[in-house]
Amino acid sequence: MNDNQSLNLLDRALGLDQQSRTWPLSGRVVLIEDSVETTASFVLHHLIKRSLSSNSSNVIVFVAFANPFSHYDRVLRKLGCNLVTQRDNNRFFFLDMLMLQCPDGDEGKSEVGLVSLYEKIRKTISLLPEDKKSHVTVMIDDISLVEVAANGASDYVLDFLHYCHALTSEFGCSLVTLNHKDIYSNTEMPTFILQMEYLADILVKAEPLATGLAADVHGQLTVLNKATSLALGSSRNKVHNFHFKVKENSVEYFYPGSRG
Amino acid sequence: MQYEDIFQNPNLIKRRSVMKKQCTKQYSKTWSPYLQNSQIFCKARVLSLVAATETPPTMAETICRTLRDGGLDGEHAPALVIKDSVASPFGLDVFSHVLTKLSNYILAGKSQSRGLVVVAFRRSPSFYVNLLKERGIDVNHKWVRILDCYTDPFDWKERLNVKEHSQEASTLSSFCKDVRDLDKLYSSIVELGKGLIGQEKGRFSVAIDLVSEMLRHASISSVANLISNLRSHDQVSSIFWLLHSDLHEVRVSTVLEYLSSMVASLEPINATTIGQKGDLENLSLLEQNFRKGKFHVRFKRRNGRVRVMCEELHVELSGINFTSVSSEDGIINQRFLPKVQFSLQLSEKEQTERAKVVLPFEHQGNGKPIQIYDGRRSISENKNEETLVSTGKLQTDEDTGKGEIIYFRDSDDEMPDSDEDPDDDLDI
């Protein structure tokens, strides 16, 4: 399989290079943090591509708050993955939440919208055949927009995330979320993002270079991979750091100083 | 004579090498007893360090023993709060460690408590069942119950009519459908505990895996009330809980620390600001913090005495390890100890030789007038040295076996008795 050769630094950092029968991210929570200067949506694209690759039987439940299906379809097509086909094969479920607006008003109402979203996700998973259930990846493309949809009731969003976390232990699926770190930078106690970091097993941080803008390097990724005691056998608690350059059809990952 | 010639003069070279050899011989004869003595001292120090680290239990062990021993009648149960932060996120590891130890004690019948109630907010009941099983502990409903505040804490599933998967852990756990109601939570914990010990007179322990989660939905006063009630319940033997301290105001964690008799706080080894744009130096610090942390424990005695101790915590594949900070050197020394090439014992002969050595500048009290060296050389000494240098032979008291310290003045030293003012060139 030439798949092994095409593994890049990001795959290794996420632990996708492990030889195991189950999906390496199964039962784990991945949090991707980015900022205005350095968007990390390419990590999300990369994970979609890897999950839907021909030699895995993964299913993705994609909860879209940021972009419509056509956007992701175009991006993934460039990366060599046809989302329409995958959708038709019941491997890619797209939940369009762009227009989700939780009812305003009374305290507790915004919970309703999130409960129904949770119901949708859960239903999608439970309708899958039994052997596929543990190969599900739930992806939420922008948590900050979930907060917006919930009228800023971040506690309900945390409740929602808790239930998504519970899915990982119930079905053994994985949860991948993206959030923007810098929107919380001004608050004295960024409780929300900290809560998310506590939930995460793998934290992927995309940051601009400390030295400023560069033509050949678009930013750096820091991947903190915590292993729970359940995932014995894999090496515990690793930190990876590398630079990236986003190209038209691919993303290059390389160690600092090894290029440009 | 040219300057270089001095160094190439064969006579001089020969004389110098002879002198060097004799000096070395004399030096080692004179000083080796002291050297060996100091090695013995070093060895003793190393051994005492090693012994000091091996005999007393680690602080984590002390904590577990305190929880095991429980409380006296009519007194509050011992309580432990484990505090961590994002910079050093090993709280759950420490929690699991304490949980396993206490479970072992309960199963072995060594502890005051007869059973354990785990209140699971952060992890699923099956996580704890697997954890205990992995560590070779027999998990059954006779001694452990799990209050499941994880699977459906806000009643969402109930509303959606979701059927629960029946898991192995479900025989041990019971659901808490609304974690916001702390009174109900309290009564379910006590109920589960009483169910464990039955009608007998006995006590149980309580473990709450994340109080921070409780604080999201309830005020600090009601959470404090719950914990305080549990502590003073006469059937609770000990209680411990986990807190992510950076999620709350200082006030909140202080309140919870007041409620506990032991505080174990995890701090990063290096204080880095995670939010900073990471440069490489920062990264290595981050990596260190990700593998180990400082483990501070504060014990509060009944009489008000407070003891603070610090250890280091290492995260490893099989779990976590604690090492006392001072033992770090001890371990390093121990590792190098077998590589030491010289003997650390003194033979009898060496001991008598050592006793005979006249220490430099030591007043011998043998009747001779005390001569304190004042930097000048007497004429006889001068003569003596001249003969030494010219014959290339050292006159030592070989017969008596007495050691002697030979001192050659450097040739370029200024003569001490010159009339010139040494500070003449000073421009004040």
Q: Which of A39-43, B85-89, B334-338, B347-351 has maximum average pLDDT?
A: A39-43
The pLDDT value recorded for residue B243 is 94
Average pLDDT over residues B157-173: 73
Best B177, B317, B321 residue to mutate vs chain A (most A CBs within 10 Å): B317
Q: Which amino acid is at A13?
A: A
Average pLDDT over residues A21-28: 82
Does A187 lie at the interface with B, CB-CB under 8 angstroms? no
Note the helical H segments in B337-396. 348-356, 379-391
Question: Which of B225, B264, B226 has the alpha carbon at shortest distance from B245?
Answer: B264
Question: What is the pLDDT confidence band of residue B51, given thresholds at 50, 70 and 90?
Answer: very low
Using CA atoms, how far apart are residues A114 and B160, in angstroms rounded to an integer? 12
Residue B316 host element (H or E): strand B306-316
- Quote the CA–CA distance of A223 and A242 in Å, as a whole number: 9
**B28 against A259, higher pLDDT:** A259
Give the three-state DSSP class for B24: helix
Nearest-angstrom CA–CA distance, A247 and A252: 7
Q: What is the C-alpha separation between B409 and B404, in angstroms, rounded?
A: 16
3-state DSSP call for residue B12? helix
Distance (Å, whole) CA A13 – CA A20: 16
- Of residues B420 and B299, the one with the higher pLDDT is B299
Chain B residues within an 8 Å CB radius of A119:
160
A182 at interface of B, judged by CB pairs closer than 8 A: no
Q: What is the mean pLDDT of chain A?
A: 85
State residue B83's pLDDT score: 93
Residue B179, pLDDT score = 85
Residue B323 pLDDT greater than 90, yes or no: no
**Residue A80 forms contact with B (CB below 8 Å):** no
| pLDDT over 60 (residue A146) | yes
| Pairwise CA distance, residues B162 & A182, whole Å | 37
Ranked by mean pLDDT, which of A17-21, A226-230, B91-95, B404-408 comes out on top?
A: B91-95
Lowest mean pLDDT among A59-68, B113-122, B211-220, B352-361: B352-361
Whether A223 shows a pLDDT value over 70: the answer reads yes
**CA–CA distances in Å: residue A105 to residues A108, A109, A212, B154, B180:** 9, 7, 44, 20, 21
Residue B87 scores a pLDDT above 80: yes
pLDDT of residue B385: 52
* Nearest CA-CA distance, residue B254 and chain A, Å: 17
DSSP A27: T
What pLDDT is stored for residue B346 in this prediction? 79
* A197/B317 CB distance under 8 A: no
Q: Give A96's contacts (C-beta < 8 A, 6+ positions apart).
A: A64, A68, A69
3-state class (DSSP) for residue B388: helix
pLDDT of residue B332: 43
**Is A124 in the B-facing interface, judged by CB distances under 8 Å?**
no
- The pLDDT value given to residue B52: 47
Give CA–CA dist A72/B372, Å, rounded: 93
3-class SS string, B85-152: ECCECCHHHHHHHHHHHHHHHHHCCCCCEEEEEEEECCCCHHHHHHHHHHCCCCCCCCCEEEEECCCC
B363 or B330, which is more confident? B363
For residue B242, which of B202, B199, B290, B210 has the smallest C-alpha distance? B210
Chain A residue at shortest CA distance from B279:
A210
Least confident of A94-108, B96-110, B129-143: A94-108
Substitution target from B290, B318, B320, B321 for chain A, most A beta carbons within 10 A: B290
Nearest partner of B266 among B98, B132, B128, judged by Cα: B98
Mean pLDDT confidence for B408-425:
66
Q: Which helix (H) or strand (E) holds B19?
A: helix B10-54
Nearest to B317 among A185, A205, A232 (CB): A232
Chain B residues within 8 A of A208 when measuring between CB atoms: 277
**Cβ-defined contact of A222 to B315 (cutoff 8 Å):** no
Mean pLDDT over B255-284 rounds to: 76
Average pLDDT of chain B, as a whole number:
76
Contact between B120 and B208 under an 8 Å Cβ cutoff? The reply is: no
Is the pLDDT confidence value at B45 over 60?
A: no
Task: Report the alpha-carbon angle A80-A81-A87, nearest 5.
Answer: 165
A246: closest CA among A38, A7, A31, A53? A38
Question: pLDDT at position B284, please?
Answer: 77
Which among A223, A175, A218, A230 has a CA at the least distance from the CA of A199? A175
Residue B277 contacts A where some CB pair is shorter than 8 Å: yes
How far is Cα A229 from Cα B317, in angstroms, rounded to an integer? 8
Q: Does position A253 have pLDDT exceeding 50, yes or no?
A: yes
Q: Tell me the pLDDT band of A2, cut-offs 50, 70 and 90.
A: very low
pLDDT tens string A44-101: 999 999 899 877 888 999 999 999 999 999 999 999 999 999 999 999 999 998 887 6
Backbone angles phi, psi at B8, to 5 degrees: -105, -5
* Residue located via tokens 């490893």: B316
Confidence at residue B234, expressed as pLDDT on a 0 to 100 scale: 87
- pLDDT for position B53: 46
Nearby residues of A36 by Cβ (< 8 Å), 6 or more positions away: A180, A182
Would the CB atoms of A236 and B316 count as touching at under 8 Å? yes
The answer, yes or no, to whether residue B63 has pLDDT greater than 50, is yes
Q: Is A181 on the interface with B (CB under 8 A)?
A: yes
Does any CB of chain B come closer than 8 Å to the CB of residue A170? yes
Pairing relationship of beta strands B236-244 and B79-84 according to DSSP bridges: parallel
| Over residues B380-389, mean pLDDT | 52
Which pairing describes strands A219-225 and A202-207: parallel, antiparallel, or unpaired?
antiparallel
**Of B275 and B306, the one with more pLDDT:** B306
pLDDT at residue A122 in the model: 92
**Among the ranges given (A77-81, B258-262, B279-283), the one the predictor scored with the smallest mean pLDDT:** B279-283
Residue B127: closest CA among A243, A166, A188: A166
Q: Which residues contact B130 (CB under 8 A, 6 or more apart)?
A: A230
Q: CB B283 to CB A181 under 8 A? A: no
Average of per-residue pLDDT across B35-42: 52
Residue contact A115–B131, C-beta within 8 A: no
What pLDDT, on a 0 to 100 scale, did the predictor assign at position B362?
Answer: 58
- Measured between beta carbons, the chain A residues lying within 8 angstroms of B246 are 189, 194
pLDDT tens, position by position, B330-345: 444 444 445 556 666 7
Ramachandran assignment for B189, one of left (phi > 0), alpha (psi -120 to 50 degrees), beta (any other): alpha
Residue in B280, B290, B318 nearest the CB of A237 = B290
Please tell me the distance in Å from B290's CA to the nearest CA on chain A. Answer: 6
pLDDT above 50 (res B69): yes
Q: Indicate if the pLDDT at residue B251 is higher than 70.
A: yes
Q: What is the pLDDT of residue B215?
A: 92
Q: How many CB pairs under 8 A join A and B?
A: 89
What are the distances in angstroms from CA A203 to CA A157, B213, B389?
19, 21, 76
Instruction: Flag if B96 and A229 touch (Cβ within 8 Å).
Output: yes
Q: What is the pLDDT of residue A40?
A: 92
**Residues 6 or more apart from B137 whose CB is under 8 A from it?**
B100, B103, B104, B107
Rounded CA gap, B287 and B89, in Å? 13
Burial pattern A212-227, b for ≥16 Cβ within 10 A else e, equals: eeeeebbbbbbbbbbb
pLDDT digits (tens, 9 = 90+) for A155-209: 889 999 999 999 998 888 899 999 998 888 877 778 899 999 999 999 999 988 8
Q: Which residues of A touch B217 (CB under 8 A)?
A: 155
Amino acid at B417: D
For residue B183, give every residue at least 6 positions away whose Cβ sits within 8 Å of its Cβ, in sequence order, or none: none
* ipTM field: 0.88
Q: Which position has the higher pLDDT, B180 or B318?
A: B180
More confident of the two residues A144 and B337? A144
Query: pLDDT band at residue B417, thresholds of 50, 70 and 90?
Result: low
Q: How far is B134 from chain A (nearest CA, A)?
A: 9
Tell me the residue type at B418. Answer: S
Mean pLDDT on B106-125: 90
pLDDT in tens, A112-127: 888 889 999 999 998 9
Residue B411: per-residue pLDDT: 60
DSSP string computed for B150-200: SSSTTSHHHHHTPPPPP-GGGGTEEE-S-TT-HHHHHHHHHHHHHHHHTTS
Specify the pLDDT at position B223.
93
